Amino acid sequence: MRNPFRVRRALTPTARVRRLRRRITVLFALTSAAGLVAMAVLAVRSDGVRWREQLDQAMSADTNWALGLLETDEDGRLDTEVLLDNAGTACPPLFLLAVPSASSVPDAPDAAGGLVVEHAPGRPCLTVSAASVRQAAATAVRADEPRSRDARTVDGEPVRMFALPFYPPDAEEDALPQGALVTVADASAQRADHRRLTWVVTGGCALLVLLSAGVGHLLSGRAVRPALEVLDRQEAFLTDAAHDLRTPAASLRTLAETALRGETDSTDVHRRTLRLAETMGTLVDGLLTRARLMSGTAPLAVEPLRLDQLVEAVAEDAATEGQRVAVRAPGAVVAAADPDLVRRAVANLVGNALVHGHLPGERAQVEVTVGGEGATATVTVEDAGPGLPPEVAGALFDRFRSGSGSTGLGLSIASWVAHAHGGSLTAEPGRRGGARFVLRLPAGGPPSDG
């Protein structure tokens, strides 16, 4: 009895996409199998018809030649003397059957088919039953046209029988057949070849079905890969949002509870609330930027950009009391890039250096150098901090990683911006013992008036 309270487990979106891939693979394999089976059946049947037609043509030629040697006497009776003197009727076996009225022995009719055997080879190379011969001849006489059929010898070997009706001399068009010539051909070799072809075609179809299933699995994998990537990006975005917003949200909740209990000054509460709101806004902005970059929905507005001026503006906005951001630019440096995205990448690098690029108890001193190397424009951000920890060097630009090992998105966003422009972002030890980040972008032509 079915349990009405049984809860069916819901599949995750990724599981549903993978199940869809399996269904596509099965459907592709079944469709290929149906087509291959239809072609295999057609090929096997065509081969069966072909070898039978070949044997029938050979036996028709033999019987027609023998028919030319068949004569009748003045009384209209069959005379087989010329036929027996000039034709070897033992191999292939040749039988002559006549209707009783035209037989030389009319008092010995054949009970099975109404035909009398006028001639049968004494020692034929293929021995078939008399009933099979009479049935083949009777069928041709009744149909009034040549007939062929499959049969077997007394030993069970496959043969092909051909019966050709013949008519009295000077017979009218509506005259009835006088009898039939029946010949037999060995079909064992043709059947063996046909059986071999059947097995080859069957095995080939099986291999092709397996191959089509593998190809279908690969094609369906490529077809659903964009959907899986979108789901992975969505899951990563939700994970990032939950991870990064959890701490400021908890701090904001704690601050609100403290304010309700009246345990702190309202001015301090407002100041801390504003700072937390700014932090959460920055986090949300970074998450949305990363999501747009990963999904490709943030189009690049590439234009000639004065990289030195942009870096100077970012450094001026990022500098705080007691911290120094020095910019060195030998001259005008132009890059072909999106101004908004590059501004965010440079701001993230400078901000990371200000936060993590100094020793405990000391103020940050950051140097930003703008230069050009042929077709590449570079921005180098160097600090005097503790340097890059070896345990995070390999995953420095992954999400949730930074120079101090804390979580964050700044460096990963800067790396994505660089790669979106066809550039790169690398990290290496600096001259002052700290970290040096080098952002490389494609160089551009003369900057626009804007």
Residue 387's CB: how many other CB atoms inside 10 A? 18
| Percentage of residues in the chain having pLDDT higher than 70 | 81
Q: Which of 116-120, 156-160, 250-254, 308-312 has the lowest mean pLDDT?
A: 250-254
Model pLDDT, residue 111? 38
Model pLDDT, residue 329? 87
Angle (deg, nearest 10), helices 188-260 and 266-295: 160
What would the mean pLDDT of 37-63 be, rounded to a whole number? 93
| Cis peptide upstream of residue 92 (ω within 30 degrees of 0) | yes
Of the ranges 161-170, 179-188, 226-235, 370-379, which is most confident?
179-188
pLDDT digits 0-9 by tens, 335-350 = 998 888 888 889 888 8
What does the mean pLDDT of the chain come to? 80
What would the mean pLDDT of 385-394 be, rounded to a whole number? 64
Q: Sorting pLDDT into bands at 50, 70 and 90, what band is 254?
A: confident
What would the mean pLDDT of 384-400 be, rounded to a whole number? 62
Model pLDDT, residue 112? 42
The answer to whether 329 and 308 have CB atoms below 8 angstroms apart is yes
Q: How far is CA 434 from CA 209, 264, 316, 352, 426, in A?
A: 61, 39, 22, 12, 14
Strand-pairing partners, residue 149, are 161
What would the mean pLDDT of 311-328 be, rounded to a whole number? 80
Model pLDDT, residue 181? 92
The answer to whether 96 and 80 have CB atoms below 8 angstroms apart is yes
Q: Sorting pLDDT into bands at 50, 70 and 90, what band is 161?
A: very high
pLDDT digits 0-9 by tens, 409-442 = 678 778 888 888 889 998 888 888 788 899 999 9
pLDDT digits 0-9 by tens, 56-81 = 999 999 899 988 888 877 766 777 78
Model pLDDT, residue 263? 67
What would the mean pLDDT of 190-199 be, rounded to a whole number? 94
Model pLDDT, residue 432? 80
97: closest CA among 84, 81, 110?
110
Task: Take residue 169 and report the two structure tokens written for it.
Answer: 């001399």
Model pLDDT, residue 417? 85
- Enter the pTM of the model: 0.54
Does 177 have pLDDT greater than 60?
yes
